[in-house]
Structure 1
Amino acid sequence: MVALDQNPVATGADDGQTAAKYYRAAWRWHFYAGLYVIPFFIMLALTGIAMMWIAFFDGRDCEYTAVIAQETTTAVSVQAQSALAAFGGGDVMHYTAPRDAQTAAMFRVDTDAGTMIAVVDPYTAQVIDTFPRGAGYYDMMDNIHGELMLGVVGDRMVEIAASLAVILVVTGVYMCWPRDRSLRAALTPRLAAKGRAFWKSLHEVVGIWVSVVLVFFLISGLSWAGIWGGKMVQAWSSFPTLQSASSVSSEVPVGDVLHGAMNSGAKDIPWALELVPMPASGSLAGADGIAEGLPVAFDTIDALARQVGFAGRYQLNWPMGETGVWTMSQVSMSRDDISPTGDRTVHVDRYTGNLLADVRYEDYGLMGKAMAVGIALHMGTIGIAFIIFNTLFCLTVLLLCASGVIMWWKRRPARTLRLAPPAMPQDMPLWKGAVVIGLALSFALPMAGFALLVVLVAEWLVLSRIPALKRALL
């Protein structure tokens, strides 16, 4: 729940004062968390809606560009030469196969002017369109959604908001949970209420109904964040070695390049593989791949991809460096397939054409599987039904934000814009237990702990020592 206003509920005579103190303490933290989180929730909801519908209608990189189907396609190497010619040279680094017979292929080309995309007709090898990688509306929304277009600083700001939002949900559910009323009453808004009572009832009921879904979106989003995701959960959940996950060979040499290096302005690599070292070319290890006597080149690699089971749209990355490998993949978060359980990544030795690794969804650990499914649900890549559901969810988040602000507006002192947060209850019982809970939360969600520490220091070091500022704000 995103509330800037709540009221304590009545309890029994014996426990009333204690319960009221707990309630006001939860309300105070709910208020402070909402103060920071509300602008981010509005941003995340609006950009999330935009990204889902842009991807549905146009794709992230014009991937739905239509072509006229013909009997035969040109060789992919010829298509790649056309892509290079469109930029006057460069290096082809990535190929996205057409989704079906009526859509175009795409090539990522690294040029002196930056990373570019060429959209190519697979039947005529004619270049239909060119544009800088990441220049579309989807990528702009994605950059705002993930990092406010501020890089690492923006990523940390969004992570703080998502971490504090977990506190928001926990404290909100605690305050809204029925004590002196039935569960049915707590889950039904009082539409006949007026003024602040109406908004409070609407906010509580909507918040309880969406709390579980909101926590899911927060956790799945935090898994992409730089601290909680990249430094903690993802690092603990990755494969110890690629050989332990691959169904091909346990004797393949490993290089010093991580799978995440193949991401170029977008998260195309499965979450469970990003921090895992890639195999290295240059040995005789691996299973039979390209037939003996055939060159290991673009066309034969594409033919091998079809031979081992890649159908329709799939991604092909060029080898990076002398020991680099060809990498073909088909993953749901790249919108190659709507089913996250169909994720697959295959590596091929650039010299021998041998299959070095074949990693599938079944090989992922528990967290990797959860993230594969969670990301697909979070992004709405599973199908139109989930896009509609996610859109409705985002609209409810906007409703929670609006109702929280309205409640604060109606509660604030008249004719003033003071924040007027709930007062901290005196003689809080079991405060040592609250400190322990706070420390545990800080370890579990370090950016939330950092934010709470900043608030405490600001109140103690600044507001408490400057009476005029304290009166103006509080």
Structure 2
Amino acid sequence: MLNDSTPSRVSDKSRAKSLYFMTWRWHFYAGLFVIPFMLMLSLTGLVMLFDDEIEMARYQSILQVEPSDKMVSISEQLNQVKQAFPQHSVTQFVPAKESNLANRFSIQSPDGHSVFATVNPYTGEVLGTIDRSDSIYNLANDIHATLLIGDWGDYLIEVSASLGILLLVSGIYLWLPRDNASKAGFLMVRLNSGSRIMMRDLHANLGGALSIVLLFFLISGLAWTGVWGAKLVQAWNTFPTYYAYGAKPESVLTHASLNHGAEEEMPWNLEQTPMPHSEDKEAHDHSKMGHEQAQSNSSYSIDIDQLIVRAIQMGFEQYSLFFPKSETGVFTISANSMAGQVTDPRQDRTSHFDQYSGRLLVDVTWEDYSLFAKFMAAGTSLHQGDLSIWNKALNVFFCLAFIVISITGFVMWWIRRPSGSSKLGVPPRFQSTGVWKTGLVTLIVIAVAFPLAGLSIIAALLLDWLLFSRVERLRLAFR
């Protein structure tokens, strides 16, 4: 009886070993591509978490003010900015978050360059300017999003994030205990068993324990990418224009046109939605207004101060006011988690007003968001560490943990690699009969759900079949 069952046990053990090393090979290949990007994303993410502190250190002299009992009206502050920068157009007003900070007016030069003009809200004095393209946050954000090389950088990051999901799934399989050897290092770090074992325990346990957190960061980050994000998920979750505007004419410009450079200031699910038009010009012709009335409105038909009072009455607290860019443009007041004006995504709100009559044209709130758009609004606050000091502290820990996971993965390979040979140190391949259905389904799901990951997986399989298994030097290197 025992003798009859022995071949079966050997066969099961051999198959389990084959599946383990097959998973390890995929984990290794994915890691080769993903690790540099994970390091970059974690490091730039750390920088962006401390944006406010870095900016205050650089521009404290023109950001910090002495609070007073009386404040100058927003329209008068706007006039002061226009007098100080007569060749610039004002595109945005951002009120200070604290009573001891300056208000900001975003102004744009004739050549399209944008800077913040900071204004003392108690005196109306223009304190100075902050170059929006020169901030450390923008530099980190540009690297984080495009590697400073535009669309190709975005595609590379999307591939790495997509393959990061394959890395995560295969890593969990390798991490979960199966035998006495794997149980020995499960949820513990063996400090006295050699450097490779210590690195392995750190890598596996941090990666396994934080797998859900990593998946959240990957999915919420992928939603901003150019293919899976913009072409698939964002397009299907964009606020429906027919519901928002009915039969009214829409602009050729989308909400994304309100963003300044790479800064994401509009809600994710509105970026691809066309802007509404101002339509009430005839009823508010400037030629029919008295000189004093036209002057008091700072060249706009509606009173800016009254518009802001109305917005506050609607429930806006911290917000951004975007000015019309053309005769058919609108005033837009937005408060959203993406731009960091609110930390509770349920308070997201974007309202458009006719620039001539002040009529409310569109009012988009949390209730109008799709299910995935709500996930993005909530996820963005978590992703950026905006919810609380604890959220920020945890995100710092997560970034540091992902850096440790990346470095320990590299160190393990470096220790294990065959020194003095041309071999890459790929985990060995073991022959196995049959098809591993679970592994195959996992690969197919990832490939279908994330197109660039699918193309990368197909490319890897073709390279393995056409080159790595046929060219002797490559076959030896990838053994």
TM-score by length of 1: 0.87
Change (3 A) 1:411 1:59: same
Give the SS at the match of 2:149.
Answer: coil
Match of 2:210 in 1: 210
Task: Write the deviation string for residues 81-137 of structure 1: whole angstroms up to 9, x where unpaired.
Answer: 333344441211111112232211111111124122211112222221213222111
Would the aligned equivalents of 1:333 and 1:381 in 2 still touch at CA under 8 Å? no
Q: Give the corresponding residue for 1:336.
A: 341
Establish whether residue 27 from structure 1 lines up as the match of residue 24 from structure 2: yes
- Distance in 2, matches of 1:198 and 1:431, equals 31
Partner of 1:8: none
2:69 is matched by which residue type in structure 1? E
Moved more, 13-22 or 29-38: 13-22
> Is 2:231 the partner of 1:235?
no
Q: 1:254 aligns with which of 241, 250, 253?
A: 250
Q: 2:439 & 2:210 partners in 1: Cα distance?
A: 26
- Quote how far apart the aligned CAs of 1:37 are: 0.8
- 1:47 is matched with 44
Q: Determine which of 392, 396, 399 is the counterpart of 1:391.
A: 396
Q: Distance in 1 between matches of 2:356 and 2:249?
A: 14
Deviations 1:121-171 (A, max 9, x none): 122222212132221111111111111111111111111111111000000
- The residue that corresponds to 2:425 in the other structure is 420
CA apart distance, 1:242: 6.1
Runs (5+) with no aligned partner, structure 1: 1-10, 285-292
Distance in 2 (CA, whole Å) between partners of 1:421 and 1:109 is: 55
User: In structure 1, which of residues 345, 350, 356 is the aligned counterpart of residue 350 of structure 2?
Assistant: 345
Contact 2:107 2:115 in 1 (8 A): yes
Q: Which residue does 1:298 correspond to in 2?
A: 304
Aligned partner letter, 1:149 = L
Equivalent residue, structure 2, for 1:315: 320
Q: In structure 2, how many angstroms separate the alpha carbons of the residues matched to 1:16 and 1:183? A: 17
Counterpart in 2 of 1:358? 363
Of residues 56, 67, 70, the one that matches 2:68 is 70
Q: What does the per-residue CA deviation read over 1:45-78, in whole Å, with 9 as the maximum and x for residues that have no partner? A: 1111111012355379969921112232223233
Query: Is the radius of gyration larger for structure 1 or structure 2?
Result: 2
1:132 is aligned to 131
Check whether the contact 1:346–1:356 (CA below 8 A) recurs between aligned residues.
Answer: yes
> 1:101: which partner in 2?
99
Task: For residue 440 of structure 1, report the CA deviation from its aligned partner.
Answer: 3.2
* CA root-mean-square deviation: 2.7
- Of 319-328 and 249-258, more deviation after overlay is shown by 249-258
The alpha-carbon deviation at position 423 of structure 1 amounts to: 3.2
Paired with 1:242 and 1:116, the residues of 2 have a C-alpha distance of 35
Q: Which residue does 1:111 correspond to in 2?
A: 109
SS in 2 for 1:345: strand
The amino acid that maps onto 2:139 is M
Structure 1, residues 11-57: CA drift from partner, whole Å, max 9, x if none? 95341121122111111110011001111111111111111012355
- 1:445 is matched with 450
Question: How many Å apart are 1:185 and its aligned residue?
Answer: 6.3
> After superposition, where does 1:83-102 map in structure 2 within 5 Å?
83-102=81-100
Matched, 1:280 2:273: no
Q: Which moved more, 1:363-372 or 1:335-344?
A: 335-344
Aligned to 2:290: none
Query: What letter matches 1:361 in structure 2?
Result: W
Once the two structures are superposed, what CA deviation does each residue of 1:242-269 show, in whole Å capped at 9, x if it has no partner? Answer: 635xxxx866553333212211221000
Please give the alpha-carbon distance, in whole angstroms, between the structure 2 residues aligned to 1:404 and 1:12: 33
Q: Does 202-211 or 179-188 show the bigger shift?
A: 179-188
- In structure 2, relative to structure 1, the CA distance for the partners of 1:376 and 1:433 (3 Å cut) is closer
Q: Distance in 2 between matches of 1:187 and 1:308?
A: 51
Distance 1:153 1:85, change over 3 A: farther
Letter in 2 for 1:67: V
Partner AA of 1:108 in structure 2: S
Return closer, same or farther for 1:233/1:200 CA change in 2, 3 Å cut-off: same
Structure with the largest fraction of helix: 2
Alpha-carbon separation, structure 1, partners of 2:123 and 2:356? 30
Measure, in 1, the Cα distance between the counterparts of 2:341 and 2:438.
49
Equivalent position of 2:331 in the other structure: 326
| Code of the aligned partner of 1:206 | L
Structure 2 alignment gaps of length 5 or more: 1-7, 282-292
Deviation at 1:383, TM superposition (A): 1.8
1:298: how far off? Answer: 2.8
Distance 1:117 1:22, change over 3 A: same
- What SS does the corresponding residue of 1:134 show, helix, strand or coil? helix
- 1:267 maps to 264
CA distance in 1, matches of 2:319, 2:235: 27
